[in-house]
Amino acid sequence: MKRERIKHVLSIVETGSSITVKGWVRTCRKVKDLIFIEINDGSDIESLQVVVEPKIEAYKQLAELTTGSSLSVTGTLVESPAAGQRVELNAEEAEIYGLTDASAYPLQKKRHSFEFLREIAHLRPRTNTFGAVFRVRNSLAHAVHSFFQQREFLYVNTPIITANDCEGAGELFHVTTLDPLKQNKDYGDDFFGKKASLTVSGQLEGELFATALDRIYTFGPTFRAENSNTSRHLAEFWMVEPEAAFNDINDNMDLAEDFLKHIILSVLDECPKDMDFFDKRIKPGLIKNLEKIVSSKFERMTYTEAVKTLIDSKEKFNFKVEWGCDLQSEHERFLVEKKIGSPVILTDYPRTLKPFYMYCNSDSKTVRGMDVLVPGVGEIIGGSEREYRLDLLLDRMKELNLNEEDYDWYIDTRRFGTVPHSGFGLGFERAVQFVTGMENIRDVIPFARTPKNLKF
């Protein structure tokens, strides 16, 4: 018999049909001579209750079931007399695939800490919280593609191994086949014959395609050897980077705002049960806040205005605020969470704080960079209008001691038919955090890579 996934079984209106489900046991208990099995197959946060009467052949075997065991059950779907569930399955036939040793199974009925679950990679996705996290993550990824595909952005795959440091922050993981323990080698002897690293951003390569195909986006892994052990940083994370020719900074802000609203709405629509779970168990008020964010306009403010607001607030900060300083997360959080209470887009940062590729304003002091800050997470998007004027780009590269030859291929975009263009990068895990309310970024990625931590 064709197998049904539990998600669909739970929504079947007409009872009485015969169905097969397959999954893993959440709980199994005996009440008098009836066995009640909660079975979950990962398709839904809710499990299906299976009721086993002594008359069926597999009764004896099923009585031995332990939490975590896997099985197939065929039976009749009936209305459930029990509270809290609409339907249940009266078992007729069953097959057990794998039993668990109950005393060794790490997932007990009590609640486990997320830190503990991170250590047991295989069983973590079997819990309610992580099942929900990864269904929402999937739904967000789908929404990313649907948003850009609807707007005719082309999905471009930029390389993972590169020879450039897009952000200029020097946070590169080197890629080499040389043995670091053997001396007397230089990059010329290495696999690529030059210094190579894992990409920190697909932007520069993305710009080449946007200045030919008009609108593109990338969605792939990026790597940063930042020694930051925070709840917002990973060494390997996924980034979504749209780039659009003929867009200025205002178009870029509009795109970022529409994009965030689209992916939030889409998840609320596609994953109502999982979102309900986060709202009840992880972050009370989450759904209401997200709905509010979707229906109101994001505040927009220049860096200069933000600095003034922070100074005028008389709030005590650990890091002093003055024009030219890099805003710390305490400053960003104050603005977004206390002052404004909703997402804020900051623009026009001091030139000295931002990478070489940003468009320089006529004051020569600020560039058309933009950061989107959201409550609870802080910076979720970073982007800019790009410097498309050849001479100004070259000046800026000189100022930052970037070797023009290394970037020749990039500078070509400004040599031959240059156009204004803009783009941004969304930290995908930060988006998952924002939508689910999960506190730690390690808990929204299947396998977290952070300093001194490379398990699995």
Question: What contacts 349, CB < 8 A, 6 or more positions away?
Answer: 303, 366, 367, 369, 371
Least gap, CB of 128 to ligand 4AD (angstroms): 25
Segment interacting with ligand 4AD (CB under 6 A) among 295-303, 304-312, 316-324, 422-430: 422-430
For 424, other C-beta atoms within 10 Å of its C-beta total: 24
| Among 48, 94, 196, 239, contact with ligand 4AD (rule: CB under 6 A) | 239
Say which DSSP state 438 is in. -
Segment interacting with ligand 4AD (CB under 6 A) among 112-120, 140-148, 316-324, 426-434: 426-434
Q: Give the chain's count of helices (H) and strands (E).
A: 13, 15
Residue 238 CA to residue 218 CA, distance in Å, equals 10
Segment interacting with Mg ion (CB under 5 A) among 94-102, 317-325, 348-356, 374-382: 374-382
Nearer to Mg ion, 46 or 332 (CB): 332
Residue 23 touches which member of ligand 4AD, Mg ion, none, C-beta under 5-8 Å by kind: none
Residue 425 interacting with ligand 4AD (CB under 6 A): yes
Least gap, CB of 166 to ligand 4AD (angstroms): 5
Least gap, CB of 18 to Mg ion (angstroms): 56
Residue 385: name the closest of 411, 412, 358 by CA: 358
Nearer to ligand 4AD, 56 or 225 (CB): 225
The Cα-based distances of 132 to 18, 207, 443 in angstroms read 28, 35, 11
Least gap, CB of 238 to ligand 4AD (angstroms): 8
Residue 334 CA to residue 330 CA, distance in Å, equals 6
- Contacts with Mg ion in 228-267 (CB under 5 A)? none
Total site size for ligand 4AD, rule CB under 6 A: 23
Sign of CA dihedral 407, 413, 419, 422: negative
Residue 3 CA to residue 6 CA, distance in Å, equals 9
- Contacts with ligand 4AD in 200-229 (CB under 6 A)? 201, 203, 224, 226
Segment interacting with ligand 4AD (CB under 6 A) among 61-69, 79-87, 148-156, 377-385: 377-385
Residue 234 interacting with ligand 4AD (CB under 6 A): yes
- Contacts with ligand 4AD in 60-89 (CB under 6 A)? none
DSSP symbols for 243-308: EEET--HHHHHHHHHHHHHHHHHHHHHH-HHHHHHIIIII-TTHHHHHHHHHHSPPEEEEHHHHHH
| Among 380, 432, 444, 445, contact with ligand 4AD (rule: CB under 6 A) | 380
- Cross-strand bridge partners of residue 360: 367
| Among 38, 167, 205, 332, contact with ligand 4AD (rule: CB under 6 A) | 167
CA 353 to chain centre: 26
| Among 131, 206, 382, 427, contact with Mg ion (rule: CB under 5 A) | 382
Least gap, CB of 370 to ligand 4AD (angstroms): 9
Residue 274 touches which member of ligand 4AD, Mg ion, none, C-beta under 5-8 Å by kind: none
Least gap, CB of 261 to ligand 4AD (angstroms): 17
Structure tokens at 443: 């808990």
Backbone dihedral angles phi then psi of residue 429, each to the nearest 5 degrees: -65, -35
Residue 233 interacting with ligand 4AD (CB under 6 A): yes
Residue 122 CA to residue 31 CA, distance in Å, equals 31
- Cross-strand bridge partners of residue 24: 40, 70
Least gap, CB of 91 to ligand 4AD (angstroms): 46
Nearer to Mg ion, 68 or 382 (CB): 382
Backbone dihedral angles phi then psi of residue 203, each to the nearest 5 degrees: -60, -50
Task: Give alpha helix (H) positions in 45-89.
Answer: 59-62
- Name the site residues for ligand 4AD (rule: CB under 6 A): 166-167, 201, 203, 224, 226, 233-234, 237, 239, 241, 379-384, 423-425, 427, 429-430
Q: Which residues bind Mg ion (CB under 5 A)?
A: 382
